[in-house]
Structure 1
Amino acid sequence: MGINKKYDGYEAYQYLEKGKDYKAFKFPKGVGRVPEYYLPLNAEQEKRAAEISEKYIFISLHEHPVFFPEDLGQIFEYNREGRQAAAYEALAKSYLDVVFDNLMDGTCTISSKNGWKWNDVLHDLGMRLCDLAHQDFVIRCEKVDDMVRAHREGKIALVPTVEGAAILENEVERVEILYGFGVRMMGITYSEANSLGSGLKEKNDGGLTALGYKVVERMNKVGMAIDCSHVGDNTTMDVIEVSTKPVFLSHCGARAIWNSRRLKPDHVLKACADKGGVIGIEAAPHTTLTVNNLEHSIDSFMEHFEYIKDLVGIDHVAFGPDTLYGDHVGLHHAFASNLSIKSSHEGSAEFSEVEYVKGLENPTEASINIVRWLVKHNYSDKDIEKVLGGNIIRALKDTWI
């Protein structure tokens, strides 16, 4: 982690010819799209933050570490191309060692405006893995040992992740196919109900279906981590109860301090922790607000972290900021229906919309500021090691083969 990344200058798809082999789009200038902001520290804190950034493995449970077009009027065309560009140079400036990359998730609209088609997801996954194969800074992560190796060698381990299981349709064996393609975590639903259970936007949550129980069992047997971030409360409780492995809430917050469907109530958070699971704190625009911080910022984000830490214990909390390189707020506006933005905010109070989340604008800025915040607030090295990656590694050792 830290400044010793072994990045060699590779840019996404540079093995092809722009404009000839594929359509090129203009991207924002990495971490410089908006004014950078880093929490101020004194000299002693700066020294400690630098030491921590080198010493401990930092894992993000949920990111989209890719560029989106500078002109968001091109976003639908960009997504139809099915060729998202990984932000290698910007990632090299981050503190991250491991990224759970959720690919195109709800915006995977290559052949359908509604998304979530099996062939589209395989196209998206295959294109990204082909690009990864042409460089050696970001490595495909299949086991915990790959995370340790990335940290040791100054690289980043990327974990392919699928955010919702609608693509399985009624084919349980597709869990194994996805695993074979490198997917190591999958969400049960992505906000809308599917054949496995109910998403968070559904008014009536009937819990896991018979097929859902089979899929959870198969994921446990295969060694694929289960995510319930966008899953309805009843369905999430069913998953936690039936799973023989720890369950992840990779990117969420506490509904108790911000009444939003997108966040989880205390009983769900506790149940997840009681079974050994890990909860990653979310930072995507307008998610982890609080009544004390109605403007989304690192303060409101970390208020959710501290609330959940106090509720379930330091051994079950981590970070899944859900950031990207581009205009995240604009992306939410463009794909409001696909991403269930309106439903996610149901129940919440009025809040001030921000153009971007200061201090958490992208994976680079977020990773650096999380470390700085923990140092600034006098967290011990032991606890910092746990929340940056230790808790996740412990749960994955129980989950992955």
Structure 2
Amino acid sequence: MVMTPQKGEVKSRFVKNYDGYQSFQYLTPGKHYKPFQLPQSEKYRQTVEIKLEEDQERVFETFIKYYPIVSLRDHGFVVPKKQEDIIPYCRQLHTAFNYEGLALSGVDILFENFMDGISILTSSKGLKWDDVILTLGIRYCDMAKQNTVFIAKTYQDLLDAKRTNRMAILPSLEAASILENEVDRVDVLYGLGVRCMGITYNEANTLGSGLIEKRDSGLTKFGHKVVERMNLLGMVVDISHCGDQTSLDVIEASEVPVFITHAGARAIWNSPRMKSDEVLKACAAKGGIIGVCAAPNTTLSSKNPNEHTIESVMEHLEYLIDLVGIDHVGLGLDTFFGDHVGLQHAFDDMLSLSESHGEDFKESSYVKGLENPAEATKNMIKWMIKHDYKFQDIQKIIGGNALRVLEDILD
């Protein structure tokens, strides 16, 4: 169990400013919202300890202390301890956000979608306009009460994170389904701080086809309008959950590089959730960045389909480097706190998660070595150091590549 520091205390050079704030502590549980039992001693569980030599440890410390670390997708979200509580928990505004866990992560810049895909506040199916707006508002309210993270809107905000020893949250949305047929809603979202948005989730919407659709008809006319508006405003276009043809169409339509914030290579694990070589190479050719994912049961490997570990995730990363080059790869691990697989099961029918994962594998209950944000990114860095990656290559992967492209998009 991680001890909570006193107000104003920084526990070590590996931890962001954290003053002990707990999510919604200004309210009274039971009076202002319904409390649910959350994981306690397990919430920072370390599943793999990567031990470094003394000189390697100094290299690791250098990255943590001096180099901006970017996660293209992770979450402060906390899943309730009991499986049966997940759906009712997500039907209320006050779901927990783990500021202490994020402070431990080593990440400086976080693309955070606030779990908009499972916000079911006003509907039973999620990905609705009212649900997303309410979710953004309540998160911003809670964040206004603490000093660990802040909402980033500009490129300079991203650079300020390291300097101020805080985490810059870049508000992102999983999918643009909430736009329906209203292109001006993109402007509204930008005004509310959103700086990255996926085009589709797993199923098709008014913009294009999701990755589970049997027939991918590509980016729609409305989808073209949305991509154009996002380009004009300075919003990152994300194709992580798009079908192949829609992905290719988005890359072609966009005037600026496109991101695949959290995915992997289909050549390593043949499932709809992974990206084809054609899409990966097209993304890189346009100057885009591909973040390797580590959500359970996604970036598996055909070499070992029965266990999801840091080794299989790194197999995807190394394949991406060989395929598109070191300048187009980043980290988008897509972790959060608590039972990730339990949440997948709870929302499977609504979000078609099992269809996106594919078939013929033994389900992993977590990703060994990358179980939550408190261990995931640091373990990725340590793994690369231990495997003799060049210093400058690690620097690119952990943030340099993403920041290079973001500088042109956000400002």
TM exceeding 0.5: yes
Q: Partners of 1:342 and 1:24 in 2: how far apart?
A: 29
Q: Partners of 2:298 and 2:317 in 1: how far apart?
A: 13
1:40-82 CA deviation, whole Å, 9 max, x = no partner? 2223222221222212111110112221111121111110002
1:269 is aligned to 280
Equivalences for 1:205-284 in 2 at 5 Å?
Answer: 205-284=216-295
Which deviates the most, 29-38 or 47-56?
29-38
1:380 is aligned to 390
Q: Partners of 1:30 and 1:391 in 2: how far apart?
A: 35
User: How many pairs does the alignment contain?
Assistant: 399
Given the alignment of the two structures, is residue 398 of structure 1 paired with residue 396 of structure 2, yes or no? no
Which deviates the most, 326-335 or 106-115?
106-115
Q: Partners of 1:77 and 1:252 in 2: how far apart?
A: 29
Q: 1:324 aligns with which of 330, 336, 340?
A: 336
Measured after TM superposition, the shift of residue 31 of structure 1 is 5.7
Change (3 A) 1:383 1:33: closer
Question: Is the Cα contact below 8 Å between 1:30 and 1:325 reproduced in 2?
Answer: no
Which deviates the most, 276-285 or 10-19?
10-19
Change (3 A) 1:8 1:271: same
Equivalences for 1:2-401 in 2 at 5 Å?
Answer: 3-29=14-40, 32=43, 34-294=45-305, 295-346=307-358, 348=359, 350-401=360-411
Question: Is the Cα contact below 8 Å between 2:194 and 2:235 reproduced in 1?
Answer: yes
Q: Partners of 2:365 and 2:208 in 1: how far apart?
A: 34
Question: Is the Cα contact below 8 Å between 1:298 and 1:357 reproduced in 2?
Answer: yes
Q: Partners of 1:95 and 1:131 in 2: how far apart?
A: 22
Unaligned runs of 5+ in 1: none
1:327-377 CA deviation, whole Å, 9 max, x = no partner? 00111111112232222133x5x2222221111101111011011011101
Measured after TM superposition, the shift of residue 109 of structure 1 is 1.4
Q: Give the residue type in structure 2 aligned to 1:258.
A: W
Q: Give the residue type in structure 2 aligned to 1:335.
A: F
TM-score, with structure 2 as normaliser: 0.94
Question: Is the Cα contact below 8 Å between 1:31 and 1:365 reproduced in 2?
Answer: no
2:4 is aligned to none
1:236-267 CA deviation, whole Å, 9 max, x = no partner? 10000010011000000000111100000001
Q: Give the residue type in structure 1 aligned to 2:366.
A: Y
Question: Is the Cα contact below 8 Å between 2:116 and 2:135 reproduced in 1?
Answer: no
Q: Partners of 1:31 and 1:364 in 2: how far apart?
A: 11
Q: Partners of 1:183 and 1:110 in 2: how far apart?
A: 20
Q: Give the residue type in structure 1 aligned to 2:190.
A: Y
Q: Give the residue type in structure 2 aligned to 1:353.
A: E
Secondary structure of the 1:6 match is: coil
Which deviates the most, 20-29 or 308-317?
20-29
2:3 is aligned to none
Unaligned runs of 5+ in 2: 1-11
Measured after TM superposition, the shift of residue 11 of structure 1 is 1.0
Measured after TM superposition, the shift of residue 33 of structure 1 is 5.8
Measured after TM superposition, the shift of residue 198 of structure 1 is 0.5
Measured after TM superposition, the shift of residue 188 of structure 1 is 0.3
Secondary structure of the 1:64 match is: coil
Q: Partners of 1:388 and 1:144 in 2: how far apart?
A: 17
Measured after TM superposition, the shift of residue 34 of structure 1 is 4.3
Q: Partners of 1:190 and 1:223 in 2: how far apart?
A: 21
Q: Partners of 2:147 and 2:64 in 1: how far apart?
A: 22
Measured after TM superposition, the shift of residue 4 of structure 1 is 4.6
TM-score, with structure 1 as normaliser: 0.96
Percent identity of the aligned residues? 51
Change (3 A) 1:152 1:104: same
Q: Partners of 2:41 and 2:99 in 1: how far apart?
A: 9
Measured after TM superposition, the shift of residue 2 of structure 1 is 5.2
Measured after TM superposition, the shift of residue 105 of structure 1 is 2.9
Q: Partners of 2:374 and 2:45 in 1: how far apart?
A: 13
Question: Is the Cα contact below 8 Å between 1:37 and 1:359 reproduced in 2?
Answer: yes
Secondary structure of the 2:381 match is: helix
Secondary structure of the 1:324 match is: coil
Change (3 A) 1:377 1:176: same
Change (3 A) 1:249 1:31: farther
Change (3 A) 1:102 1:143: same
Secondary structure of the 2:237 match is: strand
Secondary structure of the 2:268 match is: coil
Change (3 A) 1:379 1:35: closer
